Amino acid sequence: MTVAREFWQVYTVDNIVDMRGCSGAQSGAGSCNNQNGLKQCGVINFGGMTADSTAEGNIQYDASGILITPAYSIEHAPHFTATQRFAYFVDVRSNTLSGEADYASTCSWAGVSLWHGAASGPPDNMPPSPVVLGYGVSVAKNSISHADGIRGGAVVFADTWWEPEGSRMYVNTLIYQNEISNLLAPAAPTIQSANSCSGSFMCGDDPVREVGVHIRLPLVHSTVISDNTFSDVPRPLVDNGTRTVHVR
């Protein structure tokens, strides 16, 4: 049983986040770097326990996209404290995401990212997560151009912590009628590190490039994908999920 405070029926609607001219990609000053050297700015994040909530009609220029970041862990000293953050019936629709802070850098993430991670036992013997982190999430009718997330993909289910085999991180996600464009690989070598307050920070990501929708692991179940359009996206879909349904 989980008893927690929850964000319920939160509507993030019609905001404009314009970071053009502020990011390192344009100014050369790295002004979009956070304290870890990651090029992150202007993100919309469903970061707590969230249900029946929406991000709709928002416009981002050279910003860090829209994140859904559920997680779960048991109390297991000294490794983990108890954490429960679930995303149920969260709707990301009709947003325009154009560009990101530094498309060539693995320290820069954007697009729509559905993160997941769970620690369900000791690190050396971790059973499947007993809970579903994200259920009934919808990503629909968004326009995403020249922006991709951690692990790669304009819309990506991204493993960002412990990922116990046999878990069900997201179930019954809908991804439909999104317009995804301009995801050609950067001409310059991908930047693997950035300067931070304490020195060089290694970003620790090796994303796949040129991908529209990316389901990276079989821990994502029963996703329905339909009627998305792609332009200058060499790999529209990378699907390693379980029981994904493609509707044409």
Whether 3 is covered by a domain: the verdict is no
Q: Is residue 10 part of a domain?
A: no
Of 25-29, 92-96, 163-167, the range with the highest mean pLDDT is 92-96
DSSP codes joined into one string, 25-58: HHHSS-TTB-TTS-B--S-EEE-SSEEEEEEES-
Domain count, the chain: 1
List, in sequence order, every residue forming a beta bridge with 192; answer none if it has no partner: none
Question: What is this structure's pTM?
Answer: 0.90
Higher pLDDT residue, 101 or 23? 101
Cβ atoms 116, 145 nearer than 8 A: no
Condensed to tens digits (0 to 9), the pLDDT of residues 115-130 reads: 999 999 888 889 999 9
Within a domain: 194: no
* Share of residues in the chain with pLDDT > 70 (%): 87
Is the residue at 95 inside a domain?
yes
CA–CA dist 236, 149 (Å, integer): 14
Domain containing 37 equals 15-186+201-247
| Per-residue model confidence as pLDDT tens digits over 153-203 | 999 999 999 999 999 999 999 999 999 999 999 887 677 776 666 666 667
Is residue 26 very low, low, confident or very high in pLDDT (cuts 50, 70, 90)?
A: very low
Q: Does residue 43 belong to any structural domain of this protein?
A: yes
